[in-house]
Structure 1
Amino acid sequence: MKPEISKEFINLEKLFQDKNPKLYRLIPTFVFKYLRRVIHQDEINANLYEFRDLHGIDFIKAVLNRFGVIIHSKDLKNLPATGRYIIVSNHPLGGLDGMALMQEIGKVRTDFLFPVNDLLMNLPNLKQLFIPINKHGSNTENIQLFNDTFASDILLLYFPAGLVSRKQGKEIIDLEWKKTFLSKAIQYQRDIIPVHISGQNTNFFYNLANWRKKLGIKANIEMLYLVDEMFKQKDKTITITFGTPIPIKVFDKRYSNNQWAKLLKEHVYKLGSGDESVFKYITN
């Protein structure tokens, strides 16, 4: 079978040429050179080509091994081998955290899918583990696939914040957890497994995000540096803590779905600090 990945799978200049020729002609050569370095184009292409025949969990293991990342799991026993669950987690890093989570879950079950930005569907090695979410428009086909997946028996993985954690005050913490995951979990009767993932990006990333907001710039320009941040995670340890499953009936009319999402987010961080192993709103 002919490999889907060439030695120059990612080509920034060609991408701009194809998507926006007018903008491409306006961008100086030195800017492209800088961008290639920031996204580690040569290194990414070399790794993608080397691992071109690996897919799914095998590809993830190879990448994490290449980065020298050590994964430490706590209470993986809380993940049942069967059942219709949705795993919800904080999103501290922007790449390796998701891969680390999938690797650990893969030790227990392989029937899982991860809703991701539809741009990630361009990675042939991982697309079998993903379902696309179009954040920049409406795609009827993707919405139907999203709903069908919730209705299925497949395990779902979910980052409710949708974006990488930011620095708020002195804490590295997720932005608001959107209620979509909870509304869908209630609709399709999926119990929830809370998970905390350790890790943080560099101060450069957080400071850039804060200055961008102070200057009133709406575009998340700090996201451009997420690949560079990923390369700075080499040889680090990621700790993943699996919480006790929460029956979906817990999320009743005591609070709105937005309030429940906020309480669940708080529980995930207490899970990570060891302060709370069981969601305190569970009633007998």
Structure 2
Amino acid sequence: MTGLRYVYAVCRPFGTPLQSQLTGVGGAPPGLLHHHGLIAVVSQVPEADFGEEALKAHLEDLDWLSATARAHQGVIDALTTVTTPLPLRLGTVFRDCSGVRTMIEAREEDFRRTLDRLEGRVEWGVKLYLEPEPEPEPEPESAPAGPAAEPRPGSGRDYLRRRRTSTHAQEERWQRAEAFARTLHERLSRNSEDSRLHAPQNSALSTVPGRNVLNAAYLVPRAHSEEFVELVDRTKDEAPGIRVELTGPWAAYSFVGEAAP
């Protein structure tokens, strides 16, 4: 194998083969590098794209970054169906196989401890969105005002009163959404082995409608995933105006902790 070594994940040996048509970053099929009873899942990538300076430049290219992330995730998803992978960060590259083995030896204790904790477990993501309020229907057009028409007395006060009422209503909706998010997170945490609260998504940068109230991940034994999914599904009609979004099962990215390089 020539070129640099791109490492997707570390895991323990597994018996079920990966999909024969699986390709990774740059279109190369992933291979398995065995060392000290662990496996690094790797593929060959060109130095022209993944050398230090080239990689820095590529990370500023959103199209390249998106394609690379999809290929990386595709390998992790395939691994998740046959074993418990410990995902490494996007763009983890070594000069050769010897560098990968050195990395495994340096982090072997962390890898084994984290794999013990994650064995047989998957990550489920739950997001809550406060749906946008429906746009008010436009008022019917009135007849054009004559030359003697004057503003109605008190119309400015009426406008300010409507603004205050609207602001108050929005604050109440947000408070109800936050209360529901806290309750749901507590409920889901009791039905999972671990949980992580991530920062809400920035509405201005998101293509998803609504304001993100909860962005959380839950570590669930694979054998209990069906019950967890049913629990989330039962909450979807509890709070009108709030959308519950469930994603997964994923490799336990949020629970890798210090084991990731």
TMscore range, shorter length: under 0.3
Bigger radius of gyration: 2
Report the TM-score, using the length of structure 1 for normalisation. Answer: 0.23
